[in-house]
Every structure is written in C-alpha cells, then in structure tokens.
Structure 1
Amino acid sequence: DNLYLNKYNNGLTTLLKQTRHEHEEINMFAIELEKAVRGKFAEFTERIFERNQNTK
C-alpha cells in the first residue's frame, strides 16, 4: 500500500460514510457502483509508485 493513496482514499471513505446521515449545511448523496473503471492516470501513478517502492 502507498502512504499517499491511502491517506486520500481514507478521506474519501469518510466522506462517503457521511452520506448516510442528514446534514443541515449541504445535501449529500451517494450511489452504489456495480463496476469501477480504472483510468489511465490511476494506472500510470500505480506503476510509478510500485517502481519507487521496489527500488528501496
């Protein structure tokens, strides 16, 4: 696991969990995804991070 990816993924998970509760300030909602599609940028960054971890 990469430290930076986990930090941002954990932040996103926290926000998504908050969509289960009603908030006065903003209207939030989420939908369940049946399939996640990885973008080219995500694939590129994973290759870079994996390469950096393997050289340590």
Structure 2
Amino acid sequence: MACPKKKTSKSKRSMRRAAWKRQAALQAQRALSIGKSILTERAQGFYFPEAEEENEDEQE
C-alpha cells in the first residue's frame, strides 16, 4: 500500500514561498526597467529603434 507523505513544515513552506515571491518581484522590476528604458529611448543592445530602420530604407 502507498503510504502518505509527511507534511511540509510551515517554515519550509514559507521559505519557499518567500523565495518564489522574491524572484517574481525581481523579474517584475527588471521588466519595468526595460519598459521604461524603451519608452525613454535609452535602451541599447537589445532594442533597435524603428526610426533608424526607416531612414536606411529611404536612403537606398
């Protein structure tokens, strides 16, 4: 017969939840920062402004 597993303690459960929430908060903060940098047009490296691409097409 299958035996039931032991119950996870509240402290272990709260530590895991805190770690998960910390990671989620960090990702949300990074996403907001990237969004702000794109809106202010200060983004470099991962973002290619469309205005430059349009100018290149017009010059050819």
Q: TM-score of the superposition, structure 1-length normalised?
A: 0.37
Q: Which has the larger share of helix?
A: 2
Larger radius of gyration: 2
* Bigger RCO of structures 1 and 2 (CA < 8 A, at least 6 apart): 1
Q: TM-score of the superposition, structure 2-length normalised?
A: 0.35
